[in-house]
Amino acid sequence: MPLKKNTQPRNLQGIALILVLAIAVGLLLMRQGQGAPALTVSLPVAQASPTPQPPSWQDVLQQQVLANATPVPQPLLPTDDHTPPTLAPINPAAPVILEPGQLEGAAATTAPLALTTRQEAAAPGSLEVVSAAGRGEVSWQPPPMIGPISVDPRDHYWFARPVDSDAVNYGLFYYSFGSDGPDDLWRVHHGLDMPNPIGESVRAAGPGTVVWAANGFRVEQPDGTVTETTYSYGNTVLIEHDFGYRGMRLFTLYAHLSSILVTRGQRVETGDIIGLVGDTGVVTGSHVHFEVRLGQNSYYAVHNPILWMVPYAGHGTIAGRVIGPDGDVLDDADISIIDRATGRVVRTGAAYVRQDINRDHKPDINFDPVWNENFAVGDIPEGRYQVVTRIDGVRVSRTVDVHEGTTTFVELALPHEATPEVPPQAEAS
Ligand SMILES: [Zn+2]
Protein backbone atom coordinates (compact mmCIF):
# COMPACT_ATOMS: atom_id res chain seq x y z
CA MET A 1 0.00 0.00 0.00
CA PRO A 2 2.60 2.61 0.95
CA LEU A 3 4.26 1.90 -2.33
CA LYS A 4 1.08 2.75 -4.19
CA LYS A 5 0.61 6.03 -2.32
CA ASN A 6 4.07 7.11 -3.21
CA THR A 7 3.84 6.24 -6.88
CA GLN A 8 0.72 8.31 -7.71
CA PRO A 9 2.28 11.75 -7.21
CA ARG A 10 5.35 10.56 -9.17
CA ASN A 11 3.08 9.54 -12.06
CA LEU A 12 1.34 12.91 -11.99
CA GLN A 13 4.68 14.65 -12.13
CA GLY A 14 5.65 12.49 -15.11
CA ILE A 15 2.43 13.32 -16.98
CA ALA A 16 2.89 17.02 -16.31
CA LEU A 17 6.44 16.83 -17.58
CA ILE A 18 5.29 15.09 -20.77
CA LEU A 19 2.58 17.75 -21.29
CA VAL A 20 5.10 20.56 -20.93
CA LEU A 21 7.43 18.84 -23.37
CA ALA A 22 4.59 18.23 -25.84
CA ILE A 23 3.58 21.91 -25.70
CA ALA A 24 7.17 22.99 -26.19
CA VAL A 25 7.59 20.68 -29.17
CA GLY A 26 4.26 21.86 -30.58
CA LEU A 27 5.35 25.50 -30.30
CA LEU A 28 8.63 24.68 -31.99
CA LEU A 29 6.84 22.93 -34.86
CA MET A 30 4.47 25.88 -35.26
CA ARG A 31 7.37 28.31 -35.52
CA GLN A 32 9.01 26.16 -38.13
CA GLY A 33 5.70 25.91 -39.95
CA GLN A 34 5.48 29.70 -40.09
CA GLY A 35 8.91 29.80 -41.64
CA ALA A 36 8.15 27.12 -44.20
CA PRO A 37 6.59 29.26 -46.95
CA ALA A 38 9.89 31.07 -47.41
CA LEU A 39 11.41 27.79 -48.58
CA THR A 40 8.87 27.47 -51.38
CA VAL A 41 9.61 30.80 -53.05
CA SER A 42 11.55 29.16 -55.83
CA LEU A 43 8.99 26.44 -56.35
CA PRO A 44 6.11 27.98 -58.28
CA VAL A 45 4.47 24.60 -58.81
CA ALA A 46 3.79 24.32 -55.08
CA GLN A 47 1.84 27.60 -55.14
CA ALA A 48 -0.89 26.32 -57.42
CA SER A 49 -4.31 27.00 -55.96
CA PRO A 50 -7.68 25.83 -57.24
CA THR A 51 -9.43 29.18 -56.63
CA PRO A 52 -8.26 32.51 -58.12
CA GLN A 53 -6.62 34.68 -55.49
CA PRO A 54 -4.66 37.91 -55.53
CA PRO A 55 -0.94 37.26 -56.09
CA SER A 56 0.81 36.16 -52.94
CA TRP A 57 3.93 37.87 -51.74
CA GLN A 58 5.82 34.81 -52.91
CA ASP A 59 4.49 35.30 -56.45
CA VAL A 60 5.38 38.97 -56.43
CA LEU A 61 8.86 38.22 -55.14
CA GLN A 62 9.37 35.52 -57.72
CA GLN A 63 8.27 37.81 -60.53
CA GLN A 64 10.76 40.41 -59.35
CA VAL A 65 13.49 37.81 -59.19
CA LEU A 66 12.70 36.54 -62.66
CA ALA A 67 12.59 40.07 -64.01
CA ASN A 68 15.95 41.06 -62.62
CA ALA A 69 18.04 37.95 -62.29
CA THR A 70 19.65 35.54 -64.67
CA PRO A 71 17.31 32.65 -65.27
CA VAL A 72 18.09 29.58 -63.25
CA PRO A 73 19.98 27.22 -65.53
CA GLN A 74 18.05 24.15 -66.50
CA PRO A 75 19.61 20.89 -65.41
CA LEU A 76 21.48 19.50 -68.38
CA LEU A 77 21.22 15.95 -67.44
CA PRO A 78 18.68 13.37 -67.98
CA THR A 79 15.32 13.21 -66.37
CA ASP A 80 14.29 10.00 -64.69
CA ASP A 81 13.40 8.25 -67.91
CA HIS A 82 16.94 8.73 -69.12
CA THR A 83 19.67 6.45 -67.93
CA PRO A 84 23.09 8.07 -67.60
CA PRO A 85 25.19 7.99 -70.73
CA THR A 86 28.10 5.67 -70.86
CA LEU A 87 31.66 6.51 -70.04
CA ALA A 88 31.46 9.81 -68.23
CA PRO A 89 34.48 11.77 -69.40
CA ILE A 90 37.47 12.05 -67.10
CA ASN A 91 38.17 15.49 -68.44
CA PRO A 92 35.04 17.00 -69.89
CA ALA A 93 36.82 19.60 -71.97
CA ALA A 94 35.44 19.46 -75.48
CA PRO A 95 37.94 19.64 -78.32
CA VAL A 96 37.09 23.14 -79.40
CA ILE A 97 39.85 25.19 -80.93
CA LEU A 98 39.13 28.88 -81.03
CA GLU A 99 41.24 31.98 -80.91
CA PRO A 100 40.31 34.00 -77.82
CA GLY A 101 37.79 36.64 -78.75
CA GLN A 102 37.73 35.57 -82.35
CA LEU A 103 34.36 33.96 -82.45
CA GLU A 104 31.07 34.18 -80.69
CA GLY A 105 31.02 31.95 -77.68
CA ALA A 106 34.78 31.69 -77.67
CA ALA A 107 34.88 31.84 -73.90
CA ALA A 108 32.85 28.68 -73.60
CA THR A 109 35.39 26.16 -74.70
CA THR A 110 34.45 23.48 -72.28
CA ALA A 111 31.36 21.38 -72.29
CA PRO A 112 29.55 20.10 -69.22
CA LEU A 113 29.80 16.53 -68.05
CA ALA A 114 28.27 13.62 -69.81
CA LEU A 115 26.67 15.32 -72.75
CA THR A 116 24.24 13.38 -74.80
CA THR A 117 22.61 15.81 -77.16
CA ARG A 118 23.90 17.25 -80.38
CA GLN A 119 23.38 20.80 -79.29
CA GLU A 120 25.34 20.35 -76.09
CA ALA A 121 28.14 18.52 -77.74
CA ALA A 122 28.47 20.74 -80.71
CA ALA A 123 27.89 24.26 -79.53
CA PRO A 124 29.10 24.90 -76.00
CA GLY A 125 28.32 28.58 -76.45
CA SER A 126 24.62 27.87 -76.83
CA LEU A 127 24.13 25.78 -73.72
CA GLU A 128 21.49 28.07 -72.34
CA VAL A 129 19.01 26.94 -74.96
CA VAL A 130 19.39 23.32 -74.02
CA SER A 131 17.07 22.03 -71.36
CA ALA A 132 16.48 18.63 -69.95
CA ALA A 133 13.42 17.91 -71.99
CA GLY A 134 11.86 14.50 -72.42
CA ARG A 135 13.89 11.81 -74.05
CA GLY A 136 12.25 12.25 -77.44
CA GLU A 137 12.88 15.98 -77.52
CA VAL A 138 16.48 15.64 -76.46
CA SER A 139 17.33 12.85 -78.80
CA TRP A 140 15.26 13.37 -81.92
CA GLN A 141 17.37 13.29 -85.04
CA PRO A 142 16.60 14.15 -88.65
CA PRO A 143 15.52 11.11 -90.67
CA PRO A 144 18.39 9.32 -92.33
CA MET A 145 18.42 9.19 -96.10
CA ILE A 146 17.24 5.93 -97.61
CA GLY A 147 20.22 3.67 -97.95
CA PRO A 148 22.32 2.25 -99.27
CA ILE A 149 23.60 5.28 -101.14
CA SER A 150 26.74 6.26 -103.01
CA VAL A 151 25.91 9.72 -104.36
CA ASP A 152 29.66 10.11 -104.86
CA PRO A 153 31.04 6.82 -106.16
CA ARG A 154 33.84 7.07 -103.62
CA ASP A 155 31.29 6.91 -100.80
CA HIS A 156 29.72 3.76 -99.38
CA TYR A 157 26.92 4.82 -97.07
CA TRP A 158 25.46 1.37 -97.10
CA PHE A 159 24.32 0.80 -93.53
CA ALA A 160 21.24 2.00 -91.72
CA ARG A 161 21.69 3.35 -88.21
CA PRO A 162 21.26 0.66 -85.58
CA VAL A 163 19.07 2.92 -83.41
CA ASP A 164 15.90 4.84 -84.30
CA SER A 165 15.78 8.57 -84.97
CA ASP A 166 13.90 9.33 -81.76
CA ALA A 167 16.85 8.03 -79.77
CA VAL A 168 20.60 8.64 -79.85
CA ASN A 169 21.67 7.16 -83.18
CA TYR A 170 25.09 8.83 -83.39
CA GLY A 171 28.33 8.27 -81.51
CA LEU A 172 29.41 9.97 -78.31
CA PHE A 173 31.57 12.89 -79.37
CA TYR A 174 34.20 12.43 -76.68
CA TYR A 175 34.83 8.79 -77.51
CA SER A 176 34.65 8.77 -81.28
CA PHE A 177 36.05 6.02 -83.47
CA GLY A 178 39.81 5.72 -83.01
CA SER A 179 39.73 7.99 -79.96
CA ASP A 180 41.42 7.04 -76.71
CA GLY A 181 39.14 9.21 -74.62
CA PRO A 182 39.31 12.73 -73.24
CA ASP A 183 42.63 12.21 -71.48
CA ASP A 184 44.09 9.71 -73.93
CA LEU A 185 43.82 7.03 -71.24
CA TRP A 186 41.12 4.78 -72.61
CA ARG A 187 41.42 1.85 -74.97
CA VAL A 188 41.39 3.00 -78.58
CA HIS A 189 37.75 2.90 -79.62
CA HIS A 190 36.88 0.39 -82.29
CA GLY A 191 33.35 1.60 -82.89
CA LEU A 192 30.76 4.19 -81.98
CA ASP A 193 28.93 4.31 -78.65
CA MET A 194 25.29 5.34 -78.83
CA PRO A 195 24.07 6.00 -75.26
CA ASN A 196 20.43 5.06 -74.84
CA PRO A 197 18.16 3.76 -72.09
CA ILE A 198 18.07 0.05 -71.49
CA GLY A 199 15.43 -1.47 -73.73
CA GLU A 200 15.81 0.82 -76.72
CA SER A 201 15.55 -1.18 -79.94
CA VAL A 202 18.76 -2.15 -81.74
CA ARG A 203 18.28 -2.90 -85.43
CA ALA A 204 20.21 -4.65 -88.14
CA ALA A 205 22.22 -2.10 -90.13
CA GLY A 206 21.84 -4.14 -93.28
CA PRO A 207 20.62 -7.48 -94.58
CA GLY A 208 22.66 -10.52 -93.70
CA THR A 209 23.09 -13.55 -91.53
CA VAL A 210 23.60 -13.59 -87.78
CA VAL A 211 27.03 -15.08 -87.11
CA TRP A 212 27.14 -14.50 -83.35
CA ALA A 213 24.32 -13.94 -80.85
CA ALA A 214 25.35 -14.65 -77.27
CA ASN A 215 27.02 -13.27 -74.18
CA GLY A 216 30.79 -12.92 -74.42
CA PHE A 217 31.78 -12.31 -78.01
CA ARG A 218 33.84 -14.95 -79.82
CA VAL A 219 34.98 -15.50 -83.36
CA GLU A 220 34.82 -19.21 -84.13
CA GLN A 221 36.41 -20.53 -87.28
CA PRO A 222 34.79 -23.33 -89.31
CA ASP A 223 37.22 -25.82 -87.81
CA GLY A 224 36.08 -24.83 -84.34
CA THR A 225 39.12 -22.81 -83.30
CA VAL A 226 38.38 -19.56 -81.50
CA THR A 227 40.36 -16.65 -82.92
CA GLU A 228 38.87 -13.86 -80.86
CA THR A 229 37.31 -13.59 -77.41
CA THR A 230 35.96 -10.29 -76.16
CA TYR A 231 34.09 -10.78 -72.89
CA SER A 232 33.89 -7.05 -72.26
CA TYR A 233 31.28 -6.80 -75.03
CA GLY A 234 28.59 -8.54 -72.97
CA ASN A 235 25.60 -9.68 -74.99
CA THR A 236 26.69 -9.27 -78.58
CA VAL A 237 25.25 -9.77 -82.05
CA LEU A 238 27.42 -9.93 -85.16
CA ILE A 239 25.96 -9.94 -88.67
CA GLU A 240 27.75 -10.88 -91.85
CA HIS A 241 26.13 -8.88 -94.62
CA ASP A 242 24.87 -10.10 -97.94
CA PHE A 243 27.14 -7.64 -99.72
CA GLY A 244 30.82 -6.94 -99.45
CA TYR A 245 33.00 -4.07 -100.56
CA ARG A 246 35.66 -4.35 -103.26
CA GLY A 247 35.75 -8.08 -102.81
CA MET A 248 35.99 -7.84 -99.02
CA ARG A 249 33.41 -9.21 -96.59
CA LEU A 250 31.44 -6.81 -94.40
CA PHE A 251 30.28 -7.33 -90.82
CA THR A 252 28.52 -5.19 -88.23
CA LEU A 253 28.68 -5.79 -84.48
CA TYR A 254 26.32 -4.67 -81.70
CA ALA A 255 27.55 -4.99 -78.13
CA HIS A 256 26.37 -4.56 -74.49
CA LEU A 257 22.76 -5.57 -75.30
CA SER A 258 20.29 -6.26 -72.48
CA SER A 259 18.46 -8.79 -74.64
CA ILE A 260 19.39 -10.67 -77.78
CA LEU A 261 16.39 -11.26 -80.04
CA VAL A 262 18.01 -13.27 -82.84
CA THR A 263 19.83 -16.58 -83.03
CA ARG A 264 22.94 -17.72 -84.83
CA GLY A 265 22.33 -18.52 -88.46
CA GLN A 266 19.17 -16.41 -88.62
CA ARG A 267 18.65 -14.18 -91.65
CA VAL A 268 17.87 -10.54 -90.93
CA GLU A 269 16.81 -7.63 -93.08
CA THR A 270 17.74 -3.99 -92.62
CA GLY A 271 15.86 -2.57 -89.66
CA ASP A 272 14.94 -5.88 -88.05
CA ILE A 273 15.15 -5.63 -84.28
CA ILE A 274 18.04 -7.85 -83.23
CA GLY A 275 18.26 -6.90 -79.57
CA LEU A 276 17.74 -4.22 -76.95
CA VAL A 277 20.16 -1.65 -75.60
CA GLY A 278 21.72 -2.71 -72.34
CA ASP A 279 24.72 -2.42 -70.07
CA THR A 280 26.12 -5.94 -70.19
CA GLY A 281 29.87 -6.43 -70.34
CA VAL A 282 32.29 -3.76 -69.23
CA VAL A 283 30.46 -0.44 -69.37
CA THR A 284 29.70 2.55 -67.19
CA GLY A 285 26.24 3.12 -68.62
CA SER A 286 23.76 1.64 -71.06
CA HIS A 287 24.59 2.04 -74.72
CA VAL A 288 25.08 0.08 -77.91
CA HIS A 289 28.63 -0.23 -79.17
CA PHE A 290 28.47 -0.41 -82.97
CA GLU A 291 31.33 -1.67 -85.15
CA VAL A 292 31.90 -2.05 -88.87
CA ARG A 293 34.38 -4.78 -89.78
CA LEU A 294 35.71 -4.96 -93.32
CA GLY A 295 37.63 -7.81 -94.93
CA GLN A 296 37.41 -10.22 -92.02
CA ASN A 297 35.52 -10.77 -88.81
CA SER A 298 38.25 -9.42 -86.54
CA TYR A 299 38.74 -6.88 -83.80
CA TYR A 300 41.56 -5.53 -85.94
CA ALA A 301 39.45 -5.08 -89.08
CA VAL A 302 37.34 -2.19 -87.77
CA HIS A 303 36.61 0.92 -89.82
CA ASN A 304 34.94 4.20 -88.95
CA PRO A 305 31.15 3.61 -88.97
CA ILE A 306 30.62 7.29 -89.75
CA LEU A 307 31.79 6.56 -93.29
CA TRP A 308 29.36 3.63 -93.59
CA MET A 309 26.11 4.80 -91.96
CA VAL A 310 23.62 6.64 -94.16
CA PRO A 311 23.72 10.36 -93.31
CA TYR A 312 20.66 12.27 -92.17
CA ALA A 313 18.67 13.98 -94.92
CA GLY A 314 20.33 17.31 -95.73
CA HIS A 315 23.55 16.31 -93.99
CA GLY A 316 27.00 15.19 -95.04
CA THR A 317 30.40 14.24 -93.66
CA ILE A 318 33.79 15.89 -93.45
CA ALA A 319 36.70 13.48 -93.49
CA GLY A 320 40.35 14.27 -93.84
CA ARG A 321 43.91 13.96 -92.74
CA VAL A 322 45.89 15.97 -90.25
CA ILE A 323 49.51 15.91 -91.39
CA GLY A 324 52.31 16.63 -88.95
CA PRO A 325 55.58 18.41 -89.77
CA ASP A 326 57.25 15.08 -90.58
CA GLY A 327 54.58 14.19 -93.10
CA ASP A 328 52.90 11.54 -90.97
CA VAL A 329 49.28 11.73 -89.87
CA LEU A 330 48.85 13.15 -86.36
CA ASP A 331 47.09 11.31 -83.56
CA ASP A 332 44.60 12.96 -81.19
CA ALA A 333 44.48 16.26 -83.06
CA ASP A 334 41.27 18.03 -82.07
CA ILE A 335 39.04 19.04 -84.96
CA SER A 336 36.46 21.81 -84.84
CA ILE A 337 33.88 22.31 -87.55
CA ILE A 338 32.78 25.94 -87.53
CA ASP A 339 29.75 27.19 -89.44
CA ARG A 340 31.07 30.13 -91.48
CA ALA A 341 27.71 31.86 -91.47
CA THR A 342 27.33 31.95 -87.70
CA GLY A 343 30.84 31.41 -86.36
CA ARG A 344 29.56 28.63 -84.17
CA VAL A 345 31.28 25.31 -83.62
CA VAL A 346 28.72 22.82 -84.87
CA ARG A 347 30.69 19.60 -84.52
CA THR A 348 33.94 18.39 -83.07
CA GLY A 349 36.12 15.40 -83.73
CA ALA A 350 39.52 13.90 -83.04
CA ALA A 351 42.15 12.45 -85.34
CA TYR A 352 43.31 8.85 -85.08
CA VAL A 353 46.17 6.76 -86.36
CA ARG A 354 46.79 3.12 -87.07
CA GLN A 355 49.02 1.65 -84.42
CA ASP A 356 50.43 -1.80 -84.07
CA ILE A 357 49.16 -2.80 -80.67
CA ASN A 358 49.58 -6.52 -80.48
CA ARG A 359 52.08 -9.30 -80.99
CA ASP A 360 50.90 -9.89 -84.53
CA HIS A 361 51.48 -6.26 -85.43
CA LYS A 362 47.95 -5.89 -86.63
CA PRO A 363 46.74 -2.31 -86.86
CA ASP A 364 44.45 -1.26 -84.04
CA ILE A 365 42.00 0.49 -86.33
CA ASN A 366 41.93 1.05 -90.06
CA PHE A 367 41.62 3.92 -92.49
CA ASP A 368 38.99 3.78 -95.17
CA PRO A 369 40.17 2.00 -98.33
CA VAL A 370 39.00 4.95 -100.43
CA TRP A 371 39.52 8.01 -98.27
CA ASN A 372 42.53 6.96 -96.22
CA GLU A 373 41.28 9.44 -93.63
CA ASN A 374 42.53 9.96 -90.12
CA PHE A 375 39.45 11.80 -88.94
CA ALA A 376 35.79 11.83 -89.93
CA VAL A 377 33.04 14.02 -88.54
CA GLY A 378 29.52 13.13 -89.57
CA ASP A 379 25.99 14.54 -89.45
CA ILE A 380 26.92 18.04 -90.58
CA PRO A 381 24.13 20.11 -92.15
CA GLU A 382 24.77 21.21 -95.72
CA GLY A 383 26.70 24.47 -95.80
CA ARG A 384 30.12 26.10 -95.73
CA TYR A 385 32.43 25.34 -92.85
CA GLN A 386 35.85 26.10 -91.51
CA VAL A 387 37.70 22.95 -90.44
CA VAL A 388 40.17 23.89 -87.74
CA THR A 389 42.91 22.06 -85.89
CA ARG A 390 46.32 22.71 -84.36
CA ILE A 391 49.56 21.31 -85.68
CA ASP A 392 52.63 21.93 -83.55
CA GLY A 393 50.67 24.63 -81.73
CA VAL A 394 49.83 26.40 -84.97
CA ARG A 395 46.21 26.91 -85.87
CA VAL A 396 45.48 25.42 -89.25
CA SER A 397 42.16 25.76 -91.04
CA ARG A 398 40.52 25.06 -94.36
CA THR A 399 37.14 26.12 -95.69
CA VAL A 400 34.97 23.41 -97.20
CA ASP A 401 31.44 22.88 -98.45
CA VAL A 402 29.31 20.04 -97.15
CA HIS A 403 26.73 18.46 -99.46
CA GLU A 404 23.92 16.07 -98.63
CA GLY A 405 24.82 12.42 -98.51
CA THR A 406 28.48 12.81 -99.47
CA THR A 407 31.91 13.05 -97.91
CA THR A 408 33.96 16.22 -98.24
CA PHE A 409 37.66 15.48 -97.94
CA VAL A 410 40.13 17.99 -96.54
CA GLU A 411 43.82 17.82 -95.72
CA LEU A 412 45.16 19.94 -92.87
CA ALA A 413 48.89 20.51 -92.93
CA LEU A 414 51.64 23.01 -92.28
CA PRO A 415 52.77 25.40 -93.54
CA HIS A 416 50.66 26.88 -96.28
CA GLU A 417 47.50 27.28 -94.19
CA ALA A 418 49.28 28.10 -91.00
CA THR A 419 47.72 31.31 -89.76
CA PRO A 420 44.14 32.29 -89.08
CA GLU A 421 42.49 34.17 -91.86
CA VAL A 422 39.65 36.64 -91.59
CA PRO A 423 37.16 35.79 -88.90
CA PRO A 424 34.27 33.82 -90.36
CA GLN A 425 31.69 36.49 -89.62
CA ALA A 426 33.62 39.02 -91.67
CA GLU A 427 33.62 36.73 -94.67
CA ALA A 428 30.06 35.64 -94.25
CA SER A 429 28.67 39.18 -94.18
ZN1 LIG B 1 32.24 1.36 -77.57
CA of 379 to the centre of ligand 1 (A): 19
What pLDDT, on a 0 to 100 scale, did the predictor assign at position 252? 98
Q: How wide is the angle at C-alpha 127 spanned by C-alphas 64 and 95, nearest 5°?
A: 150
- Distance from the CA of 206 to the center of ligand 1, in angstroms? 20
- Which of 276, 162, 249, 255 is closest to 212 using CA atoms? 255
Give the DSSP letter of residue 342.
Answer: T
pLDDT category of residue 82 using cuts at 50, 70 and 90: very low
Ligand 1 center from residue 369 Cα (angstroms): 22
Report how far ligand 1's centroid is from the alpha carbon of 141 (Å): 20
Ligand 1 centre distance from Cα of residue 216 (Å): 15
Confidence of residue 421 (pLDDT cuts 50, 70, 90): low
Rounded mean pLDDT of the chain?
Answer: 75
pLDDT score at 354 = 85
pLDDT for 246 equals 94
CA of 260 to the centre of ligand 1 (A): 18
Q: Which residues of 165-199 are buried (b: 16+ CB within 10 A; e: fewer)?
A: eebbbbbbbbbbbbbbbbeeeeebbbbbbbbbbbe
**pLDDT at position 183:** 79
pLDDT digits (tens, 9 = 90+) for 31-75: 444 433 333 333 334 444 445 555 555 455 445 444 544 333 333
CA of 255 to the centre of ligand 1 (A): 8
- Would the pTM count as exceeding 0.75? no
> Regarding predicted confidence, which is higher, 138 or 252?
252
> What is the C-alpha separation between 361 and 359, in angstroms, rounded?
5
Q: ∠161-165-170 over CA atoms, to 5°?
A: 55
**Cα 414 to middle of ligand 1, angstroms:** 33
Domains of the chain: 147-307 (2.70.70.10)
Measured in Å, residue 289 CA sits from the centre of ligand 1 at: 4
Distance, in Å, from the CA atom of 137 to the CA atom of 316, rounded to the nearest integer, reads 23
Positive or negative: CA dihedral 95, 101, 106, 109? positive
pLDDT of residue 358: 58
Average pLDDT over residues 299-312: 96
Band of pLDDT at residue 361, cut at 50, 70 and 90: low
Question: How close is the Cα of 117 to the center of ligand 1, in Å?
Answer: 17
Comparison of pLDDT for 63 and 108, the residue scoring more: 63
Going from the Cα of 183 to the center of ligand 1, the distance in angstroms, rounded, reads: 16
Query: In Å, what is the CA distance from 324 to each residue of 57, 321, 421?
Result: 65, 10, 20
Looking at residue 288, its pLDDT comes to 97
Give the Å distance between the CA of 116 and the centre of ligand 1: 15
Q: What is the pLDDT of residues 214-259, one digit of tens each?
A: 998 999 988 989 988 887 999 999 999 999 999 999 999 999 999 9
* Cα 189 to ligand 1 centroid, rounded to whole Å: 6
Percent with pLDDT over 70 in the chain: 62
Using DSSP's 3-state secondary structure scheme, residue 279 falls into coil
Torsion of CA 118, 120, 122, 125, to 10 degrees: 150
Reported residue count of the chain is 429
Give the pLDDT confidence of 370-418 residue by residue, as tens digits.
999 999 999 999 999 999 999 999 999 999 999 999 999 999 998 654 4
Q: Residue 48: how many CA atoms within 13 Å on its side-chain side? A: 3
CA of 290 to the centre of ligand 1 (A): 7
